[in-house]
Amino acid sequence: MKAAEHPDRDGLMPVPTGSLQQRKRPEEPKKRASRWAFLGLRRQRGRVGHDGGLPYLMVAPLAVCIGALAIYPTILTAIEAFFRVDPLTPPNRFVGFGNFSAILADSQVRQSLENTGWYMLFGVALTVALGTAIALLLRRPFRGRGVILAIVILPWALPGVVEGVIWSWIYNPTFGVLNSVLKSLHLIGQYQLFIGSHQIETILLISLVQVWQITPLAALIVLAALQSVPEELYEAANVDGASWHRVIRSITLPLIRPALAIATVQALVMSLNIFTQVYVLNVNATTGASIMSTTYFTTFQSLNFGEGYALSLLATLATVILSIGVVKILYRKVDYS
């Protein structure tokens, strides 16, 4: 330790041995930290292995509900569609494709298939167009945007029966609002019967009720996609002097194609399976009957469960095939880079 008290010939103080030990001490916490990290990793791995069945246990109730409410009825429908099922004259008899031949030979079923095609055409076109337009209007923040968004969502929150009753008052041939407005504008001379008189008119008016219900969902889907579009793209287009319709056609619509595909699929599924609005507004008139309303009356009014199962199976297959086709056509992965 005396060398540490006197400088050497160059005027430099010799380094004590204790200072070397002090320099090495900061490395010890690093070793300890790495040791604890390793132990923590081992504990985490052990915990994952110990709780490996917990995620499946958490999902099990939902899987049971889906299986009981969706998968089992679908399998039962697919089996019973090939049997003659009549609760008044048991037992059930295997008829092969007899139920399918019977429903395709029924003029009322063929009429409902044609009507359902019109429901899908009007429903999908109007829902996607109006939903996209509403989303574009609500894309940028402004005063009162939250209130308008709440009003837009309101029809989606109402039950289909309530909406059907509300619109039945509007379409009423005696005191309906639509007749009153048209007559006050001198577009009609007397009150008209809108629902049930003409096929296309009836389908269009009933489709408007469903479009009013499902358009908010399409608007929310498209609005969520619009929020993810980089603002720099619009700024660059503005600098280049692009018009608003060119911006929508070249930037907005290509970048929200996944959302448009989802909105189109949900509109397609709900239009193909339209029932509540048809039942409330049209009851069983052939001018506006859908495939779902025909299935209901065939099954529960005529008690022909075999043909009802066959109609349900055809509707299910059509829904799956058309949905997959729409996704294949419209869906594209978006790369913002």
**Per-residue confidence (pLDDT) for residue 232, from 0 to 100:** 86
- Contact indicator for 277, 163 with CB cutoff of 8 Å: yes
From first to last of the 337 residues of the chain, give the pLDDT tens digit. 444 444 444 444 454 544 444 444 455 555 555 554 555 545 555 554 556 788 888 999 999 998 888 888 889 889 989 988 887 777 888 888 999 999 999 999 999 999 999 999 999 999 999 999 999 998 888 888 888 888 888 888 888 889 889 999 999 888 889 989 998 898 888 888 888 888 899 999 999 999 999 999 999 999 999 988 888 888 888 888 888 888 888 888 888 889 999 999 999 999 999 999 999 998 778 888 999 999 999 988 888 899 999 999 999 999 999 999 999 988 877 666 6
HEC assignment per residue over the chain: CCCCCCCCCCCCCCCCHHHHHHHHCCHHHHHHHHHHHHHHHHHHHHHHHHCCCHHHHHHHHHHHHHHHHHHHHHHHHHHHCCEECCCCCCCCEECCCHHHHHHHHCHHHHHHHHHHHHHHHHHHHHHHHHHHHHHHHCCCCCCCHHHHHHHHHHHHHCCHHHHHHHHHHHHCCCCCHHHHHHHHCCCCCCCCCCCCCCHHHHHHHHHHHHHHHHHHHHHHHHHHHHHCCCHHHHHHHHHCCCCHHHHHHHHHHHHCHHHHHHHHHHHHHHHHCCCHHHHHHCCCCCCCCCHHHHHHHHHHHCCCHHHHHHHHHHHHHHHHHHHHHHHHHHCCCCCCC
Residue type, 184: S
Distance (Å, whole) CA 63 – CA 59 = 6
Residue tagged 């039962």 (tokens): 76
